[in-house]
């Protein structure tokens, strides 16, 4: 997943939104003043968003130097210095908020993902994201999921087919829906079908479904679904659990034997990691 163009777009939009016609307060600082600042984490987290953070400063001062003490995907602790930045003081002040916003948000997604990944460690189940992302920041958030050890589902409506209840009704049933999807799917595009009952699962397996979403199955039905899948005469499908998944129950869900667990809260219900940036020296 190439990100360079998306990072530039994200950063340009963030700076334009924040600075508008110019940073009035930064004009209190002499135009040629050089400053050094340090970013510190105030809590334990997984670091993510370095490229977005750097790009915010480089857009305003290409001479900005950033020295990192950790990298994306690394565990960081409360009180830990993450990086040191040296550059034009006005540029540092103007870019600070946007840069920290990206780092706080993406680190939060990576941290949330790592918690879920750690919760299912040893079960063989993968943690998968969804399309429940912040508008305009989907690729950034999905990158953060990967930094946290999770797996990306489809990026959008264009790179995967997910057949849900209304698609099945419109197509006239599970098998007709799968056949129609096979006929239109471009090369390399996966097809997944959502089932709500064990009978639906049997129909999907009978029709040769390769990727099946178990929608809001309770634990007993998940276990039975795994058994049905193993006993199926067709090639075993990949089973993904979805709906009502929390950190409190995700281990039990993983232990039913499902292959994947999709969690919307990885990118939707997040609390920014608490970071701060402080000037440590000025060079005139």
Q: What percent of the chain has pLDDT above 70?
A: 97
255 and 242 assigned to the same domain: yes
Question: Which residues of 89-207 form beta strands (DSSP E)?
Answer: 126-128, 160-163, 190-195
85 and 129 assigned to the same domain: no
The pLDDT score that the predictor gives to residue 94 is 96
CATH code for the domain in which residue 50 is found: 3.90.1170.20
**Domain extent for 58:** 4-117+270-283
Instruction: Identify whether the C-beta of residue 82 lies closer than 8 Å to the C-beta of residue 71.
Output: no
What does the pLDDT average to over 8-33?
A: 93
CATH code for the domain in which residue 207 is found: 3.20.20.70
215 is catalytic: yes
160 and 254 assigned to the same domain: yes
138 and 72 assigned to the same domain: no
33 and 92 assigned to the same domain: yes
User: 131 to each of 157, 262, 265, how far by Cα in Å?
Assistant: 9, 10, 10
Active-site residue identified among 18, 61, 215, 255:
215
246 and 182 assigned to the same domain: yes
**pLDDT tens, 179-206?**
999 999 999 899 999 999 999 999 999 9
132 is catalytic: yes
The pLDDT score that the predictor gives to residue 283 is 58
**pLDDT tens, 142-183?**
999 999 999 999 999 999 999 999 999 999 999 999 999 999
- Report the predicted TM-score, pTM, of the whole model to 2 decimal places: 0.94
- Using CB atoms within 10 A of its CB, is residue 232 exposed (0-12), middle (13-18) or buried (19+)? middle
What does the pLDDT average to over 217-244?
A: 91
The pLDDT score that the predictor gives to residue 284 is 47
Active-site residue identified among 164, 210, 251, 268:
164
Active-site residue identified among 6, 8, 97, 131:
97
43 and 88 assigned to the same domain: yes
Look up residue 282 and give its two tokens: 């000025």
Total domains, the chain? 2
112 and 127 assigned to the same domain: no
166 and 112 assigned to the same domain: no
268 is catalytic: no
Q: Which of 71, 12, 83, 13 is nearest to 41 (CA)?
A: 83
Active-site residue identified among 6, 43, 115, 132:
132
Confidence band for 232, pLDDT divided at 50, 70 and 90: confident
210 is catalytic: no
Please say if the pLDDT value at position 235 is more than 90. no
Q: Which of 167, 159, 156 is nearest to 187 (CA)?
A: 159
139 and 209 assigned to the same domain: yes
- Using CB atoms within 10 A of its CB, is residue 43 exposed (0-12), middle (13-18) or buried (19+)? middle
Instruction: Identify whether the C-beta of residue 49 lies closer than 8 Å to the C-beta of residue 107.
Output: yes
DSSP β-ladder status, 65-68 and 81-88: antiparallel
Q: Which helix (H) or strand (E) holds 13?
A: helix 4-19
209 and 80 assigned to the same domain: no
Number of residues that make up the chain? 284
194 is catalytic: yes
Residue 266 backbone zone (phi > 0: left; psi -120 to 50: alpha; other: beta):
alpha
Active-site residue identified among 10, 23, 96, 194:
194
150 and 214 assigned to the same domain: yes
């Amino acid at each position: 997943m190439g990100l360079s163009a998306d990072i530039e777009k994200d950063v340009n939009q963030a700076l334009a939104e924040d600075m508008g016609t110019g940073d009035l307060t930064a004009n209190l600082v002499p135009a040629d003043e050089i400053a050094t600042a340090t970013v510190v984490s105030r809590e334990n987290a997984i670091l993510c968003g370095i490229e977005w953070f750097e790009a915010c400063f480089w857009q305003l001062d290409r001479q900005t130097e950033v020295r990192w003490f950790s990298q994306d995907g690394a565990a960081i602790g409360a009180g830990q210095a993450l990086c040191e930045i040296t550059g034009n003081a006005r540029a540092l002040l103007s870019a600070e908020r946007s840069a920290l916003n990206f780092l706080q948000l993406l680190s939060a997604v990576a941290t949330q993902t790592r918690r879920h990944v750690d919760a299912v460690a040893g079960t063989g189940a993968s943690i998968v994201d969804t399309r429940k992302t912040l508008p305009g920041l989907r690729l950034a958030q999905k990158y953060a999921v990967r930094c946290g050890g999770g797996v990306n589902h489809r990026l959008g409506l264009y790179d995967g087919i997910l057949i849900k209840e209304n698609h099945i009704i419109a197509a006239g049933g599970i098998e007709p829906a799968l056949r129609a999807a096979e006929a239109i799917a471009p090369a390399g595009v996966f097809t997944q079908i959502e089932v709500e009952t064990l009978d639906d699962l049997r129909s999907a397996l009978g029709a040769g479904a390769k990727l099946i979403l178990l929608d809001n199955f309770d634990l007993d039905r998940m276990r039975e679904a795994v058994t049905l899948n193993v006993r199926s005469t067709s090639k075993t499908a990949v089973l993904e659990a979805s709906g009502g998944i929390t950190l409190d129950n995700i281990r039990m869900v993983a232990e039913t034997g499902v292959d994947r667990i999709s969690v919307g809260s990885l990118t939707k219900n997040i609390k920014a990691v608490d970071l701060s940036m402080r000037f440590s020296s000025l060079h005139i």
